[in-house]
Amino acid sequence: MADEQNTVSDLADLKNLAAGAPAAAAPAVEGEEAPAAPPVRTGPAAVLREKEVDAQGRAYATGRRKDAVARVWLKPGTGKIVVNGRDQEVYFARPTLRLVINQVFDVAERAGQYDIVATVKGGGLSGQAGAVRHGISQALAKFEPELRSAVKAAGFLTRDPRVVERKKYGRAKARRSFQFSKR
């Protein structure tokens, strides 16, 4: 046996195998053949997600909701959130909007561990808060790839596709007809 087979019995062995370290040899029972090694996967499915940060150690992501677009930078810190140069309490005065933004950190159990700098434009305050939440979710998944499944399960990585329907000609609004006059 010139070629040693790698066997995986638990997740620790799989992690060692992915890191390139040899797996612990499984004891073979006499008279039985050793189980065949699992097929080695190559391609995008085999690669675990990597941490994506810039030169300053920040993760960047874009969040969208309705007509609002948010550019979000996430870095380790004390939990300070700055939106368009103002503190979140000033920019999002309603507590429900601040709750929407901080939902991601509650799900990921990372409250007060990251500083956020966001620039947001378009739409109204509700759409902007949703866009910032979407951007924070994407950036957090890039900064800590192991949190991606928890954030995705909560539905924060999915962009809400609902937008305002356009006005049609011959109509008062998108679907509303003009008032009917019998005479």
Within a domain: 35: no
Give residue 50's pLDDT.
Answer: 84
In the chain, the number of structural domains is 1
Other Cβ atoms less than 10 A from the Cβ of 147: the count is: 18
Give residue 45's pLDDT.
Answer: 47
Query: At 119, which CATH number?
Result: 3.30.230.10
Residues 6+ apart with CB under 8 A from 19: none
Query: Which structural domain range is residue 70 located in?
Result: 59-153
pLDDT tens, position by position, for the chain (183 residues)? 444 556 666 666 666 766 665 544 555 555 556 555 555 555 454 447 788 888 888 999 999 999 999 999 999 999 999 999 999 999 999 999 999 999 999 998 889 899 999 999 999 999 999 999 999 999 999 999 988 989 999 999 999 999 999 999 999 999 999 999 998
Closest CA to 66 of 12, 4, 7, 120: 120
Within a domain: 73: yes
Within a domain: 124: yes
Give residue 48's pLDDT.
Answer: 73
Within a domain: 117: yes
Give residue 60's pLDDT.
Answer: 94
Give residue 37's pLDDT.
Answer: 55
Residues 6+ apart with CB under 8 A from 75: 56, 57, 58, 59, 114, 115
Give residue 18's pLDDT.
Answer: 66
pTM as predicted: 0.70
Tell me the HSE value of 45 on the side-chain side, using a 13 A CA sphere: 3
Within a domain: 13: no
Within a domain: 26: no
Within a domain: 27: no
The 3-state DSSP class for residue 9 equals coil
Give residue 54's pLDDT.
Answer: 84
Q: Do residues 75 and 82 lie in contact, with contact meaning Cβ atoms separated by under 8 Å?
A: no
Within a domain: 105: yes
